[in-house]
Amino acid sequence: MKKGPAGLLLLLFLESLFFALVLVFLVVEEIIPILAVILGTVVLSFVLVKYERLNAFLQDLFSHYRKTAVAWGLIFVLALPFILHDSPYLIHLLFLSGLFAVLAIGLDFQVGSTHLVNFATAADYGVGAYTAALLAVNFGWSFWIILPLSGLAAALFGFLLGLPTMKTKTYYLSLVTIAVGLIIYLLLNNLSWTGGSDGIAGIPYPTIGGFSLGNSVRLFGMELPFQANFYYLVLGILFLEFVVARRLYQSKIGLAWNAIRDDEIAAACQGIDVTGSKIMAFYTNAFFDGLAGAIYAFNVGFIAPENFAFMLSVIVVTMVIIGGMGNVTGVIFGAVIMTLIPEKFQVVQSYRLWLFALIIIIMLLARPKGLFPQKTRQYA
Amino acid sequence: MAHFAEIVFIALMLSSTYILIAVGFTLFFGAIDIVQFAHGDVAMLGAFVAIILYGLAEATGMTRVLPMVVWVAGVIFFTLIITGALGVLFERVVVKPFRKAPLLMVLVATVALGIIIRESVRLFYPEGSNPQVFPKLFPQASFQVGSLYFRAEHLMIFGISLLLIVGMMVFINKTKIGLAIRAISQNIEAASLMGINPDVTIMITFFAGSLLAGIAGVLTGTYFNVVKFDIGLMGGIKGFSAAVVGGLGNFNGAILGGLTLGVVETFASAYIPGGTAYKDVYAFIIVIFFLVFKPSGLLGERVYDKV
């Protein structure tokens, strides 16, 4: 395909169309248009798989104008709080979506690239959140010192969890992670210094040079609710993780992970450090989970063991599977959609988990590689 | 040490429910090398099926007309059949399609199935999110041997478990169908060449395993007098853990593993100060210890990876 104004316009048009749909999905409250958007996405995903030439054409278009496409996307994402500035709740939902996207990409290091089904996301997340809460409430440290510390604490936990787990495989590995997740949950519930089942309250909002993130900001003549601060914060972390993930996947480490996924023994015979690679997937994931946990703790100001129960891990696994294992963009998409859908269907709020589980099974039967699967590696 | 004897008895009762669930895990893994993560929820379903059947028996007046032995036996018998059939249904819908797919698929699919079962009970059973009173199926008498108190209910639980476990052992080891199950667990292709229908045998295996889980649910309900939609989660993980500690795929191992977990939990609650809150923590530490240092379990064979 040749570069030209027509292609550029088409790209911008398609991207803007997509953003418009996202906005419709966010703002509209009626069920019918929302269902239409969801159905449209599923149909689109099937069309892309069915018509390879269309898929190839679109991919070509995007790789030609990668910089423009990314820039336009970034502008949209950064502008969202301005567009939605009078509905703080929607911005809060976007913040939560971002948080879950951080967790999902982290988990994808294991599930997607290495087929290690880790059910300890909630534990990593909890370790990060509790580290942050304890340091903030007991010592009054600044958020900006606590944030990396929480990440490191969770990474250390992930590393320690990884050590025994490396001796196990498949079901056994999942069992270890489930067991560790339950142990952490039970400990949080019963230990006195973590506040037991009452949790920890009174975590202050982070501040930057005297300005509290709990205050609204006036920018470009617009009043942004305080939720926007956290939205941008989580966006920053997400961006960092996105870059790390892309770089890892495209490096030898990502290749090693995929090799282990396809055949562990063959990978070992090729001289790949199987244990080292897997453990790396564990602590990289845990680090980002820890960051997400700290941000969550500082956002809500109150955490309890219930926030870190087994179900959270299952939900994050769902996001990875729905979005498309091994595809960072797809996983973000999965996380966003799985956070927004239940919020959109307030009527079916109590059917949330039931629907999630049903969707997982249908997806596994119909589209085992997710809505937007990992592309086959290409070497030029 | 009267106290000690009572604790041992409680440990045995707890162990027997773990064993009943663990046997299912071991049978399924032996037959087709999969772990059915929703198996604990099948046990929970068993308890609810029994509640519904009891309700039916009461509504139709059978509890008043028939002698207790007859209607209790009827309730338990149909609970076994229905839970077994549900187990087969789940295998057909959620396990079979993934038989040739990566392990990840069946793992995630059965975890999802567990959620569906759990949430279905919570959402669609009347007042499902609250604990449900479990009907008293067994005589409420209690009696004394020396300085020990026993409740008739508890003896019944223990007796029924023992009967079913031994019955299943005989079924697997002595009957022709049991032989078929053992054959497909050794080599499914070779077994089908010998005229064994693998599909039917797998269905029988799931029927047998799920039936035992169903009775585990009934017995848990009898012991605690209440059941709740989410008991299957912990029950399933404990049952799976028991099977792993004993050696996944090994029938005797499931028994040994169930005993280990039951004894650890009961004794931790009884003898470690403040141990009741942490009894599950001790149980899981034991499990992790086994997974790391003896992944093949107490009786399992060491498996070597082959290319």
In chain B, domain spans: 2-293
pLDDT confidence of residue A379: 58
- Neighbouring residues of A135: CB distance < 8 A, sequence distance ≥ 6: A141, A146, A149, A150
Going by pLDDT thresholds of 50, 70 and 90, the confidence category of residue B230 is confident
pLDDT tens digits along B183-208: 888 888 888 888 888 889 999 999 99
Q: Identify which of A178, A187, A317 has the shortest CB distance to residue B108.
A: A317
Substitution target in B39, B116, B296 with the highest count of A β-carbons within 10 Å is B116
Q: Does A115 touch chain B (CB under 8 A)?
A: yes
Q: Is the pLDDT of residue A269 over 80?
A: yes
Mean residue pLDDT of chain A comes to 81
Work out the percent of chain A whose per-residue pLDDT is above 90. Answer: 6
State which CATH number among 1.10.287, 2.60.40, 1.10.3470, 2.40.33 fits the domain covering B2-293.
1.10.3470
Q: Is the pLDDT of residue B1 over 50?
A: no
Which phi and psi (to 5°) does residue A207 adopt? -125, 150
Q: Identify which of B94, B101, B241 has the shortest CB distance to residue A361.
A: B94
Task: Report the range of poorest mean pLDDT among A203-217, A222-236, A268-282, B271-285.
Answer: A203-217
Q: How far is Cα A103 from Cα A99, in angstroms, rounded to an integer?
A: 7
Q: Does B113 touch chain A (CB under 8 A)?
A: yes
For residue A208, how many other CB atoms are within 10 A of its CB?
11
Q: What is the mean pLDDT of the segment spanning B37-54? A: 92
For residue B185, how many other CB atoms are within 10 A of its CB?
21
DSSP H helices, B225-250, are 231-246
Substitution target in B95, B108, B282, B292 with the highest count of A β-carbons within 10 Å is B108
Q: What is the mean pLDDT of the segment spanning A175-193? A: 84
- Neighbouring residues of A173: CB distance < 8 A, sequence distance ≥ 6: A116, A117, A118, A165
Work out the percent of chain A whose per-residue pLDDT is above 70. Answer: 92
Which CATH number is associated with domain A88-366?
Answer: 1.10.3470
* Sequence ranges of chain A with CATH classification 1.10.3470: 88-366
pLDDT confidence of residue B303: 60
Instruction: Compare all CA atoms of chain B with the CA of A362 and give the residue at the minimum distance.
Output: B109
Going by pLDDT thresholds of 50, 70 and 90, the confidence category of residue A3 is low
Q: How far is Cα B213 from Cα B216, in angstroms, rounded to an integer?
A: 5
Mean residue pLDDT of chain B comes to 85
Give the pair of three-digit tokens for residue B273: 């100060």
Instruction: Compare all CA atoms of chain A with the CA of B240 and give the residue at the minimum distance.
Output: A175
Q: A12-18 — which CB contacts under 8 Å span 24+ positions?
A: A12/A68, A12/A72, A14/A58, A14/A61, A15/A69, A15/A72, A15/A73, A15/A76, A16/A72
Q: Across the strands, what pairs with B132?
A: B227
pLDDT tens digits along A216-265: 777 676 777 778 888 888 999 998 988 888 888 888 888 888 888 888 88
DSSP conformation letters of B46-106:
HHHHHHHHHHHHHHTTHHHHS-HHHHHHHHHHHHHHHHHHHHHHHIIIIIGGGTTS-HHHH
φ/ψ region of B282 (left if φ > 0, alpha if ψ in -120 to 50, else beta) reads alpha
Q: Is the pLDDT of residue A365 over 70?
A: yes
Residue (of A154, A200, A203, A190) closest to A304 by Cα position: A200
Which phi and psi (to 5°) does residue A35 adopt? -60, -40
Mapped onto helix, strand or coil, the DSSP state of residue B33 is: coil
Shortest distance, CA A352 to any CA of chain B (angstroms): 9
Going by pLDDT thresholds of 50, 70 and 90, the confidence category of residue A380 is very low
Chain A residues whose CB is inside 8 A of the B115 CB are 311, 314, 353-354, 356-357
pLDDT tens digits along A285-312: 899 999 999 999 888 888 888 888 888 8
Q: Identify which of B102, B109, B306 has the shortest CB distance to residue A361.
A: B109
Residue with tokens 């005297």: A210
pLDDT tens digits along B103-130: 778 888 888 899 899 989 988 888 878 8
Q: What is the mean pLDDT of the segment spanning A67-76? A: 81
